[in-house]
Structures are given as C-alpha cells and as structure tokens.
Amino acid sequence: MSKAPKPPSGNKVSVKTLQSKKLHGEPITFLTAYDFSTAVALDRSGIDGILVGDSLGMVMLGYENTLPVTMQEMLHHCRAVARGVSRAHLVGDMPFMSYQASVADAVRNAGSLLQKGGMDAVKLEGGRNRVRAVKSIIAAGIPVMGHLGLTPQSVHQLGGWKVQGKSTHAARTLIEDALILEDAGCYAIVLESIPAELAQLIANRLAIPIIGIGAGVGCDGQVLVTHDVLGLFDRFTPSFVKKYADLFSEMERAFQEYISDVKERKFPAAEHSNSMDPQALRDLIREIEMQGLEFEPDDNQPPRFH
Ligand code: KIV
C-alpha cells in the first residue's frame, strides 16, 4: 500500500502566495484532484493549487455535464483530497444550485466546503449576476475565486461547449465582469475557453491572478482537468488540453494482463503468496490424515483434501 504523505516540503500556499507570484511574474500552476492518491501525488510534485472541480461529475461519476453534482458529492471528494495535501492551496468548486437560489445558501454552502470539506477557498461561476453572493461569502471570511468565459454550469444557456468572448461586445462584457469580480473582492479568477488575446488583456488589467484553461499563455497561471492531462477520460478531450500521459490505454493493458495472468495461474506467484512453517504444515497434514482425510500434494495447485 501507499506510504503516508510526506511532511510539508515548504510553506502552505495561500491566497497571498498566489498574489505575490502574480506580482513577481511567476506562473501559477493548478490542476484538479478528486481523490486522496492523486492529491498526494500533486502535492508532492510541488503544484501551487488543487481545484476540487465539479468536473468530478463528468470524470469521476459519469454524468453528462456538471449540473447533477451535489454538495454532498463535492464534500465527499473535498475531504478525500484535503487528507492528502499539506502544502498546496485547496479550492472547492461550488456546485450548481448551491449559490444561485439565495445568498444565504451561498454563504452556508461555501462555509461547508471549508468547515466540512477542508478547503482553503471556494470557486463559483458567473460575473455581475453573482456579485451579491461573492460579497457575502467574502464577508464571512471565505476567499472566493471567480470563473468566467465558458462556465459549464450555464452550458444550456451558452448553447454548448463553445469558445466565449469572441465578438467585441462579448469581450467587453467579459472584461467588465472580471473588473466587477475583482472589485467585489475575488482573490483570483479562472478564465475558461476564451481567446488568448482577451485573456492577456484581462491579466494585464487586473491586479489579481488570472488562471486560464483554454485561454492562452498570457494568463498568470494555468489549470487543467487532471483526467485530461493523464489521458484518463475516454469520452472526449478538449482541443486546448495537452495530454502528458495516456493512462487509459495503460490501465486497459494492465487489466488485460492481470486477467490473463489469473486465468493462466501466473498470478499470484510465490512472491505474492504466504507460506506455512514446514513443520506446522507437516503436523497439520498428519492431523488431517489421522482424521481420515487424504491429502494430495501438488506444487502447482492449492492443497486439496478428500
Ligand atoms: O470543474 C472544474 O474542473 C473547473 C475547471 C475546468 C476550471 O471548473
């Protein structure tokens, strides 16, 4: 089994660390995680931030989109990730309808992600339409990361998974929304699937870190869905993703090898098995034989008694 997580190899990454990285022009690295082992690996690798995204609905739970994800599901995965992390900054996504219906819901659910989920901050989607929720959550002492551009919880309103902010009007609206979120107190903003030039303009204009996903190299940092990075999600891969591994194929290969090893009795081999003390085994066989049971030894088969 896996070893216990390593002790922290540096100070915990905070909102202030991320803001200082922007100030010093140091790129900020984020990836998603939804489980303990991935969180441990990411933390050890030195990632700045881990997002427990509601993308878990698609890549972990097999939903068509992120809309069915509940607070319970988010909390379950947030807790698993938090157990594996000692250094990285942890952001929990607010799922659909956990902040849209009322400001009271928004504050209560954001609080749960910190109090019960072990997160350091929350992320929610939307601009000017979410200012009241953003301000109230921040007033409760909870850091909020904004999310603009292609906001998956509005997939039906947006008419699909399309690049946003392409026209002058749409781009201007996006810049305004980013400024509104900064003004409302967000400590960072994710920009998803927007033209690189527009993301660069926003990153230059705002003082807070801009984390891009499908938004070009001009952002202050990058985030991707870890399942896409590892090639673990077989359904589709967005064009802005760079695959750093093809673990889905590797997983299939390993499973097939295991199945044939078991069928051919190549697994478990001697090194995967425990043996009895020879004298204890001889005594046992004698006892069994005295009881009238015959023992048929066969080196390649488990012991059989008749
Ligand atoms: O849910 C998620 O993983 C996200 C990222 C795509 C930014 O929101």
Q: How close is the Cα of 236 to the center of ligand 1, in Å?
A: 15
Atom of ligand 1 nearest to the CA of 55: 1
Share of the chain above pLDDT 70, in %: 92
Closest C-alpha to 31, from 289, 249, 225 = 225
Cα(297)–Cα(29) distance, integer angstroms: 59
Substitution candidate for ligand 1 out of 55, 77, 230 with most atoms within 8 A of CB = 55
Secondary structure (H, E, C), the chain: CCCCCCCCCCCCCCHHHHHHHHHCCCCEEEEECCCHHHHHHHHHHCCCEEEECCCHHHHCCCCCCCCCCCHHHHHHHHHHHHHCCCCCEEEEECCCCCCCCCHHHHHHHHHHHHHCCCCCEEECCECHHHHHHHHHHHHCCCCEEEEEECCHHHHHHHCCCCCCCCCHHHHHHHHHHHHHHHHHCCCEEEEECCCHHHHHHHHHHCCCCEEEECCCCCCCEEEECHHHHCCCCCCCCCCCCCCCCCHHHHHHHHHHHHHHHHHCCCCCCHHHCCCCCHHHHHHHHHHHHHCCCCEECCCCCCCEEC
Average pLDDT estimate for 211-232:
98
Atom of ligand 1 nearest to the CA of 125: 8
Whose CA is closest to atom 4 on ligand 1? 53
Q: How close is the Cα of 3 to the center of ligand 1, in Å?
A: 29
Q: How close is the Cα of 212 to the center of ligand 1, in Å?
A: 10
Substitution candidate for ligand 1 out of 28, 51, 113, 145 with most atoms within 8 A of CB = 51
Confidence of residue 297 (pLDDT cuts 50, 70, 90): low
Question: Quick check: bond before 152 cis, omega within 30?
Answer: no
Whose CA is closest to atom 2 on ligand 1? 53
Residue-wise over 75-92: b if at least 16 C-beta within 10 A, else e? bebbbbbbebbbbbbbbb
Q: What is the pLDDT of residues 156-167, one digit of tens each?
A: 999 999 999 999
Q: Looking at the annotation, which residues are catalytic?
A: 192
Mean pLDDT, the chain, integer: 94
Tokens representing residue 235 in the block: 């359904």
Atom of ligand 1 nearest to the CA of 225: 3
Average pLDDT estimate for 96-105:
98
Whose CA is closest to atom 1 on ligand 1? 53
In this predicted structure, the answer to whether residue 253 has a pLDDT above a threshold of 50 is yes
Ligand 1 contacts (CB < 6 A) are 32, 51, 53-55, 93, 147, 190, 192, 213, 223, 225
Q: How far is CA 255 from the centre of its chain?
A: 24
pLDDT at residue 299 in the model: 60
Atom of ligand 1 nearest to the CA of 211: 7
pLDDT at residue 245 in the model: 97
Residue given tokens 């012991």 in the structure block? 303
Whose CA is closest to atom 3 on ligand 1? 53
Q: How close is the Cα of 249 to the center of ligand 1, in Å?
A: 24
Q: How close is the Cα of 270 to the center of ligand 1, in Å?
A: 45
In this predicted structure, the answer to whether residue 3 has a pLDDT above a threshold of 60 is no
Tokens representing residue 20 in the block: 């200082």
Whose CA is closest to atom 8 on ligand 1? 53
Whether 78 contacts 122, CB under 8 Å: no
Share of the chain above pLDDT 90, in %: 89
In this predicted structure, the answer to whether residue 106 has a pLDDT above a threshold of 50 is yes
